[in-house]
Structure 1
Amino acid sequence: MVMDASKLAELKLFVDQCKSNPSIVHNPSLSFFKSYLQSLGARIPPDTQTDKGGVNMAEPGQHSDSKDPNFSYEEDDDIVESDVELDNTGVVEPDNDPPQMMGDPSVEVTEDMRDAAQSEKLKASDAISEGMLDEAVNYLTEAIMLNPTYAILYATRASVFIKLSKPNAAILDADAALEINPDSAKGYKVRGMARAMLGRWEEAASDLHVASKLDYDEEIGSVLKKVEPNAHKIEEHRRKYDRLRKERELKRTERQRQQQKAEAQDQEALSAFKDGQVIGIHSTGELETKLNAATRTSRLVILYFTAT
């Protein structure tokens, strides 16, 4: 019997479908075809669905993420950041003393009060040179109470708190100095040094860079040499994980797009079938489309060839 060329092409497509998915022949409705193949001595591969412990019970058009080749549990896991190896030499425990006395900026400062404040400041300088730091703090506190609008007094007391390893107290005074005078180089300097003592490397680097632009000195440069490497490591670390998070988000978005596309294709494929009814197919292209749709929607397709 000579078959029509178009029918032969359709048969070839069916055979190709069997090659790509051999488990088709295990379908009960194709038992006659399976028996025929076995009668010819063909080796029938095992049913992959049975080997996997069952069949997919999902409704057509529904996708299980675990069967989605684009799905990865790893992509949905939170990114666990590794620790950054930093040089923490000189970092101290935060001081938690009660806040030091601060002046009242609304007080009207007289000339006599300014002179008295200057006198207390000189006493503090002498105490610092003699290593009497607590006494220096007391003198500077008196000076601040007399002249609470003089930024350098707060900045100087902050520098003494640095020597006493009290970075939080130093930051409080530095903030007060900068509120009075936003261009206080010493205010930025001591705050940067205090933040470095607390391991707040990026903030410390920022303050010290501002201080160096306003009034550079060797002490600022020395502290920056220690602070900058740590700040750079933290910045690089953050950029790395920001990039990883963005990449993960792009992959998630693409996976969702692919899933939505597949679901749309499934719906389109479902509309192409009339379950239990015979559908006429008149070209190899149409046959291929129907077979692909059947595969996506877990439909069994039985081909009938008729001579014309």
Structure 2
Amino acid sequence: MAAPMQHEDLLKLKSFIEFVDANPTVLNMPQLQFVKDFVEKFGGKVPAGDFKMPDAAAGGKCPFGGDAGGKGKKPAEASESLSDDSQDEESLSEPESEVELDMEGVIEADNEPPQPMGDSAKAPTEEEADQAGDLRGQAAAAYGEQKFEEAITLYTKAIELNPGNALFHAKRGQAFLKLKKPNACIRDCDKALELNCDSAAAYKFRGRAHRLLGDFAEAAKDLRQACKLDFDEEADEWLREVTPNAKKIEQHRVKQERRQAERKVKERQRAQRRARKEQAKQSANSTGSGAGGAGGFPGGFPGGFPGGFPGAGAGGGGMPGGVDMADLMGLMKDPEVAAAMQDILANPANISKYVSNPKIFNLIKKFVPGGDIGAAFGQAEPPKAGPESGPEPKATKDSADFVDDGLD
């Protein structure tokens, strides 16, 4: 059943109670008189004395995550952190519901020493096999007379003569069931299935033993296999008896697996969210510290270009030529522009490399007083594109440039 409070409110209440437990005199403060009245109403007693904030150096803690020195999270930060993770924490901390099972018929487990299993490697002689068969007949007769201890003794002798017979183990396990010894039965049935994995009797009796121990899911699994190998009315009846509890357990396991998968997804999402917040915080810090440095160039562009880029420092009032700092920062994210600027800052004469690159050249002109790059760097500006001129007109006899060489 969920608490009638929000998860974040419960966390605050828990923090407050822990603080009061360590500093009970805080309840003597007038603002907390209603809490003091509540404590005394139920027989509690608040120590007399004035409350004094614990020393921060001694590890004193204030409620709601602060500290005595007032160095706790800012309210906005705490609220933001809580709002981000409280929902995930609430879902992850919800207690898993318990399965309500019908435990009628469940008995206390037996803890006797293991019974003899014989030597599985022994190959019985024909005479030993016959003797074991006779002993099995006597054991079955004793079982029919409800002499279960005697039946177990006779089956044990038969097993010692012919330990490789799976049915001997299964039938002895059946006798152990009658004596309310399910663990002994399970050991015999395990051995029988080791010798013969298709022994329906072993699955049947082991399933019943699991049921007596309250292991309903295992019981249903074994009894289903027994009915599949060799249908038996008694095994089917036992299966129908354990099926309701088995289904509850199986559904609960599916729910647990789904919750575990959801928990992993939410934990991964929370880690990603925190990583994004940290990255955004670092980016904001980087942007703030780099605002006066124009995209990573130390000090902006001081002295790197002729004119010194007045006003380009961290506290500058503006850029020359009406350049907008935001636009400049955007341009500096262009790898080509950034590389060119680094090259020119290292050696201003390298501007000649970029005379034919309008994107770089026009950007540089904005930072040169008067835009006269030729005067500033000793370089000629790129030729301006003019109207296209056709081929020079051919001289004619009437033109002033015509000279008659007399060769006509």
Common fold by TM > 0.5: yes
State how far apart, in whole Å, the 2-side matches of 1:150 and 1:253 are: 54
Task: Report the CA distance between 1:58 and its aligned residue.
Answer: 6.1
State how far apart, in whole Å, the 2-side matches of 1:90 and 1:57 are: 58
SS of residue paired to 1:98: coil
Task: Report the CA distance between 1:115 and its aligned residue.
Answer: 1.3
Aligned residue in 1 for 2:315: 277
Tell me which of 121, 124, 129 is aligned to 1:106.
121
Tell me which of 85, 89, 94 is aligned to 1:71.
85
Q: Which moved more, 1:197-206 or 1:160-169?
A: 197-206
1:75·1:252 contact (CA, 8 Å) conserved in 2? no
Unaligned runs of 5+ in 2: 1-64, 293-313, 327-408
Task: Report the CA distance between 1:241 and its aligned residue.
Answer: 2.3
1:105·1:148 contact (CA, 8 Å) conserved in 2? yes
The letter of the residue matching 2:315 is Q
Q: Which has the larger radius of gyration?
A: 2
Which residues in structure 2 correspond to 1:114-125 (within 5 Å)?
Answer: 114-125=129-140
SS of residue paired to 2:84: coil
Task: Report the CA distance between 1:172 and its aligned residue.
Answer: 0.7
Task: Report the CA distance between 1:253 and its aligned residue.
Answer: 1.7
SS of residue paired to 1:70: helix
Number of aligned pairs? 232
Tell me which of 263, 266, 272 is aligned to 1:248.
263
User: Cα–Cα, structure 1 residues 130 and 57, in superposed 2: closer, same or farther, change >3 Å?
Assistant: closer
State how far apart, in whole Å, the 2-side matches of 1:279 and 1:267 are: 26
Aligned residue in 2 for 1:175: 190
Given the two structures, how large is their TM-score scaled by the length of structure 1?
Answer: 0.67
Task: Report the CA distance between 1:105 and its aligned residue.
Answer: 1.6
2:142·2:148 contact (CA, 8 Å) conserved in 1? yes
Given the two structures, how large is their TM-score scaled by the length of structure 2?
Answer: 0.52
2:170·2:189 contact (CA, 8 Å) conserved in 1? yes
Which residues in structure 2 correspond to 1:189-208 (within 5 Å)?
Answer: 189-208=204-223
Which residues in structure 2 correspond to 1:1-308 (within 5 Å)?
Answer: 67-72=81-86, 74-75=89-90, 78-274=93-289, 277=315
Q: Share of identical aligned residues, percent? A: 42
The letter of the residue matching 1:167 is P
2:203·2:225 contact (CA, 8 Å) conserved in 1? yes
Query: CA RMSD for the aligned pairs?
Result: 3.1
SS of residue paired to 2:118: coil
State how far apart, in whole Å, the 2-side matches of 1:94 and 1:79 are: 33
Unaligned runs of 5+ in 1: 1-51, 287-308
Q: Which moved more, 1:246-255 or 1:104-113?
A: 246-255
The letter of the residue matching 1:170 is C
The letter of the residue matching 1:134 is E
Task: Report the CA distance between 1:242 and its aligned residue.
Answer: 2.1
1:175-223: CA deviation from partner (whole Å, max 9, x where unpaired): 1111111111111111111111111112111111111111011111111
Task: Report the CA distance between 1:279 and its aligned residue.
Answer: 7.3
